[in-house]
Amino acid sequence: MKSNMTYVLNIKPPTIENYDFINLTHRKFAEFEIVFRVNDGYKLKNIGDFRFKEQLLFQRFKNKTQQLNLMLIDSIFPIILAGIALLVLLGKIKNLNDYINSKERIIFPLIINDKIYFERKVMDFINGLLYGDVGGKLVWKGDSDNRRVFCIKNSNDELDFYSIYDRHKIIQLLAENMKTEISENQITSIKGNLVNISLILRL
């Protein structure tokens, strides 16, 4: 016998007292140390001679947990982020939006409308940085902390943006304004055909 009873989940949104307010101005979101191997088809004895992204081949992230966390965004997202690091090192992009629009981004022949695919994955990644711990060095299970509320202040310490009203807009703002940088202090010399490059994401 079927029951006509309707069940309603008693889900209460967090009260204003439970929100965690975070100022994103000058914030460092994450740092990823990525290991590359010199392509056998190119001669590269010094990282200063790096001119083409094909000269270096992605091997792995130095921190295995970070790599596994990124795979929750997509199984190939570590490869995408490695490609971003190479274009930053070459001075061809300055933010994630540049990568989405770059003609040198990674191409996946089987993906139709790949620009839309990259837009979605980048937005998922930023969402993971904001509300999860995708950039952390501890295991992240893909959960989100929706108590976090973000703001951005200008040079006069005045509020430019407040995320409680528009979650999508803060993600778009970061895609356009979050800087992708290479830590020159963390670029290791080429040893045994390997080189470590550290990618930093900050506002």
Beta-bridged to residue 30, according to DSSP, are 201
* Domain-embedded: residue 137: yes
Place of tokens 């790096």: 50
pTM of the predicted protein model: 0.84
* Domain-embedded: residue 187: yes
Cβ count within 10 A of residue 118: 20
What range does the domain containing 110 cover? 16-202
* Domain-embedded: residue 122: yes
* Domain-embedded: residue 185: yes
* Domain-embedded: residue 147: yes
> Which pairs count as long-range contacts for 77-85, CB under 8 Å and 24+ apart, including other chains?
77/121, 77/125, 79/106, 80/105, 80/106, 80/118, 80/121, 81/32, 81/34, 81/125, 81/199, 82/34, 82/36, 82/58, 83/53, 83/58, 84/180, 84/199, 85/32, 85/34, 85/180, 85/182, 85/197, 85/199
Helix axes 114-131, 167-177, angle to 10 degrees: 110
* Domain-embedded: residue 166: yes
CB 194 within 8 A of CB 59: yes
What tokens were used for 34?
């990525």
Per-residue pLDDT of the chain (203 residues; tens, 9 = 90+): 444 544 343 434 445 455 567 888 889 999 999 999 999 888 787 778 889 999 999 999 999 999 999 999 999 999 999 999 999 999 999 999 999 999 998 887 777 778 899 999 999 999 999 999 999 999 999 999 888 888 888 888 877 777 766 778 889 989 999 999 998 766 666 777 889 999 999 99
* Domain-embedded: residue 4: no
* Domain-embedded: residue 10: no
Select from 57, 76, 56, 64 the least CA-distant residue to 32.
64
Alpha helices in 90-189 (DSSP H): 96-101, 114-131, 167-177
| The pLDDT of residue 54 | 92
Domain count, the chain: 1
